[in-house]
Structure 1
Amino acid sequence: MPGPTYRVAIVGAGPSGLFAAQFLSAHPGVQVDVFDRLPTPYGLLRYGVAPDHTSIKSVATALARVFDSPTVRFLGLVRFGHEVTRDELVAGYDAVIYAVGASEDLRLGVPGEDAAGSRSARAFVAWYSGHPDAEPQSLQGVRQAAAVGVGNVAVDVARMLAKEPLALDSTDMPEEVLAELRRASISDVWVIGRRGPQQASFTTPELRELCTTPGVRVSVEPPCSEWVDDDLLDRRSRANLTVLRDAVERSSAEPAEPAEPAEPAGHPRVRLHFLFWRRPVELHGDPVTGLVLERTRIGPDGRVVGTGETERLDVQLVLRAIGYRAVALPGVPFDEALGVIPSAQGRVLQGGEVAPREYVVGWIKRGPVGVIGTNKSDAKETVQQVLDDLAALGPRTDRVDVLGLLADRGYHPSTFDDWRRIETAEANRGASFGRERMKIEAWHELLDLVQRERPGGPVPPGH
């Protein structure tokens, strides 16, 4: 005889949520509903991975197979805390998994940070990735730009600014984004870190890709001769230093730049500067005309401290890429200091006690660290707790019909078939430009394709 049927809700259709759905779908008797406020699944795979990183984006193709299972449904255009509440999901499912990621970015906390031209790298990534919430990013008047941070987000935005736009024509970038990049006249890009190159968190393939971008001349400060002994470093740090050394050597061997650079064949288009042991202390102008940096060092307690020595970069664009932060979900426990839902091996904790039938995966569980693959082992750990608890607790006998509640309020979630319609439209749009696909980034076009109105008016960022 068949066993009991369990229903599990997952809030968030990004990599962590879909890995969780994948593991759950392998167990007979478990039905999964994946909720998202967007009509498009895949989260950061669609809206956070650089458009020219097609090999990473192909992970979405593998994750899409989870929706081939008749036991997994995609339910888009449902905002947690708006169309559906925590109490309703907990009452309607045997288990609820929160997989919403981290939707805000950390701030520099320096004077001038709110000036025009000082922006979030997260917002810049959302723009070139075609996110429907993204605000247009003008590059008019920008000759020099700085990315503050030494992780992969800083590398990505620096590469987008430094790369020849023609090399992006084959990507799924919206045409409006490509047009803005073509109009831009970027001559210098700085990547700035408050520690040394050996402590930078770039992953080596991404750093190498940036440093070998055609037409880019690389410099590093402090120079390679002042770096620590490689033998004291781990493998990734040693590899990163090798990439930087090789890039500097290649650039030094290239012909000198002309007085008016950029276009003659054989000359660099953009100068890429890595500045280590610096931290921003002030932005000048509104719009931004300069970035003041203070030199740093390691203090007696191992922390970074300022030396009091400052310098100014003439820049018209500053992108902060110093980390992401999760935001609290309505009614769900949240640790403001750590920026996560408190949990133990994936089980949500409320007041130090396990909240029955509630779980967490991904960045909202462990903080915004790790690569996409990290979410797989993370989800596996959480799903194991879900399965153990379902076996112990058994199915609910009084489950609320959540979709019935939504229908009664006039809300009708979008489906995976609706997403397929968006995919087809993006492929058709891309074909008209000679590309495989092109993102549809406007809310009204997405909603027309899924043939739904936006419930309750504008959809705010985050869940």
Structure 2
Amino acid sequence: MTEQSAATRPLRIAIVGAGPAGIYAADALMKSDAEVSIDLFERMPAPFGLIRYGVAPDHPRIKGIVTALHKVLDKPQVRLLGNIDYGTDIALDDLRTFYDAVIFSTGANADRALEVPGIGLDGSYGAADFVSWYDGHPDVPRTWPLDAEKVAVLGVGNVALDIARVLAKTGDELLPTEIPPNVYAGLKASKAVEVHVFGRRGPAQAKFTPLELRELDHSPTIEVIVAPEDIDYDEGSEAARRNSKQVDMISNTLEQWAIRDVGDRPHRLYLHFFESPSEIVGEDGKVVGLRTERTELDGTGNVKGTGVFNDWDVQAVYRAVGYLSQNLTSLPFDDQAGTVPNEAGRVLVDDTVEGEGRFMPATYVTGWIKRGPVGLIGHTKGDANETVACLLDDSVNFAAPEQPEPESIIEFLESKGIPFTTWQGWYRLDAHERALGEPEGRERVKVVEREDMLRASEPDKVQT
């Protein structure tokens, strides 16, 4: 490839991860003044990442984001290559052969550790694993043990609420959604009648969004209960309420629930504050309880232990204390932060004494692998814009790839015998899932088995 021909062809960009972060990056590239040709690599046979495999099935409002993402993937400058696992099917050196630059947007799909005694007991689960099960992820078991009548959920973020709500609802309530038959069967047989959600701090420090919190109370089978003694604020908490409409709305909702009479809906969902998990209690290797230490506010919005402990009769514990990104082959990784070290999306190899750093050539990150698993889906747009701006600034110094022709990567994948899927394949899978739901009046029924997804996608016609 000569310098002249490199200047006249589109900039070839590989994006690893076709969830919201990756698709937003593709959108930002296409909205720039640069002429670009983009390939989105996705580990799953289907696109949309967190939207498809991380959002509770009874949240069609959030899943509506797919409509906007769909429009991006419909653009002629972008191509989807699914069912390709980075680090197994393709390496960074391979990508450099075909692309001017690579953006990683692989998200976070593992559970952050919680170091308390008993965490390894049978009946102690991570949020990510349970979410993957009820969202029909092909790489997790098809069944889930739901024989506990009383369940604890640790954490006060939206994922904790999702888990609590799914556990507290009946299978029939969730049947109108896209849940596959194995998930419906599991939830219909669930024995849970009490779900207890525990937060270490107070109402003003909860990480729910107001709408997500209020939705808890919409189910005709769930009685949401808040203890009046858990409504407490200090100076730091009051300042948080004054400075954030969202914090104030959450606090107001919890206050209203704390003073109302308890109704008679069959399933009870308790929201507990000022309870810090200290031990998951076991017997014969199984969860039989949870011990928490009562905390109190210290004036700043933080809490301190009181030395008073409470024991809770539960038979299962779900920890929803945050997601964690996984290490990516050939990239540096900060195990503590769970991110790839970077500056404004440029991947750092190491930091110099002056703090300027040294960057991996033409290698970038965006989304949760860049900043950690915090914030809402829409926040990744800002990440993408920042990363793409850096990439375009650097593009004049990119080394030309050996094989930038769009068909070269297709020939490479075919030579390795990788059964990859395409955007056209997604349209076929989408139509298949919708057809499965139609007889029951449902929008779709999600296909779970990877082989079935591949078969429905028919990955033999490739967009070039």
Task: For residue 289 of structure 1, report the CA deviation from its aligned partner.
Answer: 1.6
SS in 2 for 1:52: coil
Aligned CA distance change for structure 1 residues 223 and 12 (closer, same or farther; 3 Å): same
Structure 1 partner of 2:322: 323
1:211/1:247 contact within 8 Å kept: no
SS in 1 for 2:148: coil
Task: For residue 80 of structure 1, report the CA deviation from its aligned partner.
Answer: 0.8
Structure 2 partner of 1:358: 363
Q: 2:245 aligns with which of 235, 244, 252?
A: 235
The reply to whether residue 436 of structure 1 matches residue 440 of structure 2 is: no
Structure 2 partner of 1:260: none
2:23/2:73 contact within 8 Å kept: no
Query: C-alpha offsets along residues 78-135 of structure 1, whole Å, 9 cap, x if unaligned?
Result: 1111111112212321110000011211122122211221111111111111111222
Task: For residue 284 of structure 1, report the CA deviation from its aligned partner.
Answer: 2.2
Moved more, 283-292 or 99-108: 283-292
Task: For residue 409 of structure 1, report the CA deviation from its aligned partner.
Answer: 2.1
SS in 2 for 1:131: coil
Query: C-alpha offsets along residues 169-212 of structure 1, whole Å, 9 cap, x if unaligned?
Result: 21101122122212223221111011111111111110111134
The reply to whether residue 8 of structure 1 matches residue 10 of structure 2 is: no
2:203/2:231 contact within 8 Å kept: no
Q: 2:276 aligns with which of 276, 279, 290?
A: 279
Partners in 2 of 1:177 and 1:125 — Cα distance? 11
Structure 2 partner of 1:248: 258
Moved more, 217-226 or 181-190: 217-226
1:11/1:36 contact within 8 Å kept: yes
Task: For residue 429 of structure 1, report the CA deviation from its aligned partner.
Answer: 1.2
2:280/2:287 contact within 8 Å kept: yes
Structure 2 partner of 1:25: 30
2:234/2:301 contact within 8 Å kept: no
Structure 2 partner of 1:213: 219
SS in 2 for 1:406: helix
1:14/1:42 contact within 8 Å kept: yes
Q: TM-score, normalised by structure 2?
A: 0.89
C-alpha RMSD over aligned residues? 2.3
Structure 1 partner of 2:293: 294
Partners in 2 of 1:239 and 1:157 — Cα distance? 22
SS in 2 for 1:413: coil
Aligned CA distance change for structure 1 residues 366 and 225 (closer, same or farther; 3 Å): closer
SS in 2 for 1:102: coil
2:40/2:80 contact within 8 Å kept: yes
Partners in 1 of 2:146 and 2:45 — Cα distance? 32
Task: For residue 225 of structure 1, report the CA deviation from its aligned partner.
Answer: 5.6
Task: For residue 303 of structure 1, report the CA deviation from its aligned partner.
Answer: 5.8
Task: For residue 413 of structure 1, report the CA deviation from its aligned partner.
Answer: 2.1
Task: For residue 405 of structure 1, report the CA deviation from its aligned partner.
Answer: 2.7
Partners in 1 of 2:204 and 2:228 — Cα distance? 12
2:177/2:442 contact within 8 Å kept: yes
Task: For residue 144 of structure 1, report the CA deviation from its aligned partner.
Answer: 0.7
SS in 2 for 1:384: helix
Report how many aligned residue pairs link the two structures: 439
Task: For residue 299 of structure 1, report the CA deviation from its aligned partner.
Answer: 6.1
Structure 1 partner of 2:182: 176
Partners in 1 of 2:317 and 2:293 — Cα distance? 16
1:5/1:395 contact within 8 Å kept: no
The reply to whether residue 369 of structure 1 matches residue 366 of structure 2 is: no
Moved more, 411-420 or 319-328: 411-420
1:222/1:275 contact within 8 Å kept: no
Partners in 2 of 1:225 and 1:125 — Cα distance? 29
Structure 2 partner of 1:457: none
Q: TM-score, normalised by structure 1?
A: 0.89
The reply to whether residue 314 of structure 1 matches residue 313 of structure 2 is: yes
Query: C-alpha offsets along residues 48-98 of structure 1, whole Å, 9 cap, x if unaligned?
Result: 111111111011121011222221100011111111111221232111000
Q: 1:158 aligns with which of 160, 164, 189?
A: 164
Task: For residue 397 of structure 1, report the CA deviation from its aligned partner.
Answer: 5.5
Q: 2:427 aligns with which of 420, 425, 439?
A: 420
